[in-house]
Amino acid sequence: MTKSSFLLLVLLILLTEAFASEAAEKKKDGGDPPAGLHELTFFFSNDVWGETEPCG
């Protein structure tokens, strides 16, 4: 194995780990759902009545 392909391999491992920990971080808040269950979040609103933001 050449030096450059070794470095490429190391880089790939590091990148894979970085993505894996990012995904784990994303899951951390809710935790894994129990087996067979789908995890879904509803963000809902109603009766906004044409309001946008406070005035001053």
Partner 1 sequence: MGGLPKKAQQLVELREKKSGVLALDSGALLFKEERIPPDQGQRLTTTAQGIVSAYNKMSFAAVGIARQDLAAGLPFLLALQQKADFPWLSANLASRTSGKPYFKPHTLLTMAEMNLAVIGLTGNQGANDLLTEKDNAVILSWEEVLPKEISLLKGRADMLILLSSFPAAVNKKIADRHPEIHLILQSGNASGNLPPEMINNTLITQVEQQGKAVGILEIHWNAQTKKWGDPSADNLLLDKRNELDRLGWQIGRYRKNGDPKVVFKNQPDVLTAYEALLTQRQRLDQEIARLLAEQNARNASRAQFSSFSYRFEAMRKELPDNPAVHTIVETTTNEVNRLGKLAAKARAATPLAQSQGVFPENHVGSSACQSCHVPQFKKWLNTRHASAYATLKRKGQQFNTKCLPCHVTGAFGQSEEIVLSLAADLRQVGCETCHGPSKQHAARPQSAKPNRPTKDTCLRCHTADQDDNFIFPEALARLRCGNP
* Contact set with partner 1 (CB under 8 A): 26, 29-30, 33-56
**Given the complex with partner 1, which of 1 and 48 has the nearer CB atom?**
48
Handedness of CA 48, 49, 50, 54 (dihedral sign): negative
Separation of alpha carbons 45 and 34, rounded Å: 28
Q: How far is the CB of 32 from partner 1 (least distance, A)?
A: 10
Q: How far is the CB of 20 from partner 1 (least distance, A)?
A: 15
Cα–chain center distance at 40: 14
**Given the complex with partner 1, which of 5 and 31 has the nearer CB atom?**
31
